[in-house]
Amino acid sequence: MSDYDFSAPRLFVQAAIAAGEAIALDKAQANYLGNVLRLSSGDGVLIFNGRDGEWLARVEQGGRRVAGLMPEKQTRPQPPGPDLLCLFAPLKHARLDYMVQKAVEMGASVLAPVLTRRTQVSRVNLERMEANAVEAAEQCGILAIPAVREPARLDDALARLEPGRLLVFCDEGAPVANAVAALAQAREEGAHAGIAVLIGPEGGFDEAERDLILARPDTVRLSLGPRILRADTAAVAALAVVQAVLGDWCGNEAASG
C-alpha cells in the first residue's frame, strides 16, 4: 500500500498512537477487521484517535485471529480542532442518526441536544450518538471527533455559550431573506469567538423562546428559504451555508478541522 490510500479501511482507536507501539483491539474491532474485511497479518489500516493524527498501521495476528495493530508512520497530522457547535432539538432514532452523521461530515465540533417546549423526544441515547459520530468520521476521512454533550434546557444551553460566539438562529418564523447575505453581514461586523448553529424541533420555537434567543448578543436570525424543512434537513442546510460563508469552505481556519 502506498503512503496514503483513500480506499484503505479506517479505524478509530482510543489508545495513543506512536510508531512501533502495538495497539490492542477489542473483540468487535478484531472481528470487523478479520471476519468482515477479511484482513490478515501485514495488511494496512489507517487509524486515528482524534489527537495524534492519522497513521498507517499493520495488522498483527494471534493464531488465526486479528490481535492488534502496529503503527508504522503518520499519514496526516492532526489538524486544528474545529469550532462549530451544533445545537439541536433531539429527534427520533433514524433521523437523529442521520443528522449526527451529516453534522460530523459538515465539520461540527460539538453536538449538543437542546430541550425546548415543543421537543418531541426527551431521552437521548448519547452512546448511539457517539457511535454514529465515529462511524461518520471513519467513512469520510475526518480526524476530529466531535464532543457529545448531555441534553440541556434551552436557557441553560444559551447561557453556556461563550460571550462573543456567533449564534446562528435558524428560525422558520423569520422573514424569508438571503441567508448568505445575512451571514456575510455578520462576518463584516467583526470576528467572532467561534460559531454555534441552533436548530429547533419539528413544531418550531414558541414566542417566549424566540424572544429569549434574540435577546442574546451576537445572534443572527436566519431563514432557510421559503419551504418548511424537516429538522434533520434544516441542520444540514444551515451547516452548509455557515461553512460556505463563515467556515472552512471559504478558508476560515477558525471553523476548520
HEC secondary structure over 4-33? CCCCCCEEECCCCCCCCCCEECCHHHHHHH
pTM for the predicted model, two decimal places: 0.88
Contacts of 194 (CB under 8 A, 6+ apart): 83, 84, 85, 162, 165, 166, 254, 255
DSSP state of 178: -
Cβ burial 152-189 (10 Å sphere, 16+ → b, else e): bebeebbeebeeebbbbbbbbebeeeebeebbeebbee
The answer to whether 183 and 242 are in contact (CB under 8 A) is yes
Residue 6's pLDDT is 64
Cross-strand pairs, 57 = 45, 71
| Rg value, the chain, Cα | 20
Question: Residue 196 class from Cβ within 10 Å (0-12 exposed, 13-18 middle, 19+ buried)?
Answer: buried
CA–CA gap between residue 129 and residue 100 (Å, rounded): 7
Evaluated on CA atoms 122, 196, 93, 148, the torsion sign reads negative
Mean pLDDT of successive 10-residue segments in the chain (257 residues)?
65 96 93 92 95 96 84 94 92 93 96 94 92 95 95 96 95 84 85 91 92 95 88 94 87 49
Contacts of 163 (CB under 8 A, 6+ apart): 193, 217, 218
Q: What cell was used for 176?
A: 424569508
C-alpha dist (Å) from residue 226 to 62, 75, 174, 183, 233 = 59, 45, 10, 17, 14
Residue 251's pLDDT is 66
Question: Cα torsion at 114, 118, 122, 126 (round to 10°)?
Answer: -30
